[in-house]
């Protein structure tokens, strides 16, 4: 992942992750941490963009909430093999902001993100694999996604930034979060009749 600017709202290192509590389903654990779950209309309603910089304080308020919930999630689940993200609708906020944490990189706050370009151009060359979602963490979806993505977003001050995601699963993972802000879930991309992959 490359970006013209790093997010300056750094967080303290999270404690060492623990395994999910196996006496409860993963979705129940996520719900207890404040993650909105599948079936809640908040997840499919879409979001309202920020008018920046006049709504800077509101953007920072939601960013603080996203960061706190993401920290709590990382205390119970190990994401060290990839990335994790969280979008505002997943914490009950219908606004266009998400956070993205690639392993070993600073947290990136994506405000009013827009996908500029994806690659390869041919959908047949996109990668098909599984991805999970904190809003239905009991199973994973198998779907095709681009291998690279260029995304524009705003800082809390309203400045435009552009980030390129072209390593490993980063394009897939960040597109998953951008989808959330349009009310689109990864299950919406799955071909009818395709089986879900259990995480149990």
Catalytic site positions: 177
Q: Is 190 exposed, middle or buried (0-12, 13-18, 19+ CB in 10 A)?
A: middle
Report yes or no: 153 and 161 within 8 Å, Cβ to Cβ.
Answer: yes
Please list, in sequence order, all residues whose beta carbon lies within 8 angstroms of the beta carbon of residue 159, skipping any fewer than 6 positions away: none
Give counts: helices (H), strands (E), the chain: 3, 9
Three-state secondary structure call for residue 71: helix
- CA of residue 24 relative to chain centroid, distance: 23
User: Degrees (nearest 5) of the Cα angle 22, 100, 122?
Assistant: 105
Please list, in sequence order, all residues whose beta carbon lies within 8 angstroms of the beta carbon of residue 12, skipping any fewer than 6 positions away: none
**Within 10 Å of residue 61's Cβ, how many Cβ atoms?**
13
Report yes or no: 143 and 152 within 8 Å, Cβ to Cβ.
Answer: no
């Amino acid at each position: 992942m490359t970006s013209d600017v790093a997010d300056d709202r750094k967080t303290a290192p999270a404690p060492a992750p623990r395994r999910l509590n196996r006496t409860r389903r993963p979705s129940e654990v996520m719900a207890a941490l404040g993650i909105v779950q599948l079936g809640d209309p908040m997840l499919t309603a879409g979001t309202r963009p920020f008018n920046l910089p006049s709504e800077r304080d509101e953007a920072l308020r939601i960013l603080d909430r996203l960061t706190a919930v993401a920290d709590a999630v990382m205390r119970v689940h190990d994401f060290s093999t990839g990335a994790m993200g969280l979008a505002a609708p997943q914490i009950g906020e219908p606004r266009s902001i998400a956070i993205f944490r690639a392993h070993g990189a600073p947290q990136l706050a994506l405000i009013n993100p827009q996908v500029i370009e994806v690659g390869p151009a041919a959908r047949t060359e996109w990668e098909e694999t599984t991805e999970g979602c904190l809003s239905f963490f009991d199973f994973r979806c198998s779907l095709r996604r681009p291998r690279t993505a260029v995304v524009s977003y705003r800082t809390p001050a309203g400045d435009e930034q552009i980030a390129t995601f072209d390593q490993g699963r980063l394009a897939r993972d960040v597109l998953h979060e951008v989808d959330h802000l349009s009310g689109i879930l990864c299950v919406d991309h799955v071909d009818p009749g395709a089986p879900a992959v259990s995480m149990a």
